[in-house]
Amino acid sequence: MTTSPVVLITGAAHRLGARTAAVMHGRGWNVVIHYRSRSEQAQALADRLNGERPDSATTVQADLSEPEQVTALAGAAISAWGRLDGLVNNASVFYPNPTEAATQEDWHIIMGANLQAPFFLGQACLPALRETGGAIINLIDIYSEKPLADHSLYCSSKAGLAALTRSWARDLAPAIRVNGVSPGAILWPEGEGEVDKTHQQSILARTPLARTGNPDDIAGTIAFLMCDAPFITGQIIAVDGGRSLNM
């Protein structure tokens, strides 16, 4: 068993998850990098972090839509170093689906990844987190409160995750703290092209700080809640440049 604290971060092979892994690693934590299909990116990140500090990062593959793989992920994360001090539910699915066109498969994919998986992964990690007095951080979204058009399933899943965050904060105290981070415009969704530039500019026009955020804004907030906030639980911090004031 390591003396370093250990954090499991879902969807940690790229974007915000990868930056969070790097920031937590820089704070002295060992990191379990979960990925679904980005094996090369996950391994490259682990190799880089292990180059900085040997035996401090590992990767685990799992499809979070499959319950048995969620349970296996928890077991692998705990077994990696014999302890678990933090869980960051970062992985999520985001795509539009107008209500008239949404299917049961859409429901399964979005609710499964964004709400069901965090619940059952957290449940499976509870014994280890209780033993260390650990913390859970859920990545929410400002659209959980101010819905985005034609994203009813996504917005509902994130609203459910926000409610779960507050419910867990009551139910799991005092052993485990539970908080959320709700990003605004940090990184644009992958695949957006020129057709979306007008939409992006309209978002920035309604953001008081008049710019997108930086992945470090999210990773730093997660690190603060995980490492430096022993008396904070049940809170969801909007990291959005003030955008939620104008929605």
Q: Per-residue pLDDT for 247 more than 70? A: no
What whole-number distance in Å separates Cα of residue 137 and Cα of residue 147? 22
What domain range is 180 assigned to? Answer: 6-246
What whole-number distance in Å separates Cα of residue 240 and Cα of residue 206? 11
Compute the 3-state secondary structure of the chain and give helix, strand, coil in percent, each to the nearest 5.
Answer: 50, 15, 35
In-domain check, residue 123: yes
In-domain check, residue 199: yes
In-domain check, residue 145: yes
Q: Is 95 a catalytic residue?
A: no
Report pLDDT digits (tens) over 162-195. 999 999 999 999 999 999 999 876 665 555 444 4
| Residue that wins the pLDDT comparison between 207 and 18 | 18
Amino acid at 182: S
Among 29-33, 64-68, 193-197, the minimum mean pLDDT is found in: 193-197
- pLDDT score at 193: 44
In-domain check, residue 15: yes
- pLDDT score at 187: 60
Q: Tally the domains of the chain.
A: 1
| Residue that wins the pLDDT comparison between 242 and 3 | 3
Q: Per-residue pLDDT for 144 more than 60? A: yes
In-domain check, residue 1: no
In-domain check, residue 195: yes
- On average, the pLDDT of the chain sits at 91
- pLDDT score at 233: 98
Answer yes or no: are the C-beta atoms of 142 and 92 closer than 8 Å: no
**Residue 202 structure tokens:** 């309209």
In-domain check, residue 38: yes
Of these residues, 35, 95, 143, 154, which one is catalytic?
Answer: 154
DSSP 173-226: TTT-EEEEEEE-SSSPPTT--GGGHHHHHHHHHT-TT-S---HHHHHHHHHHHH
- pLDDT score at 190: 57
* CATH number of the CATH domain containing 107: 3.40.50.720
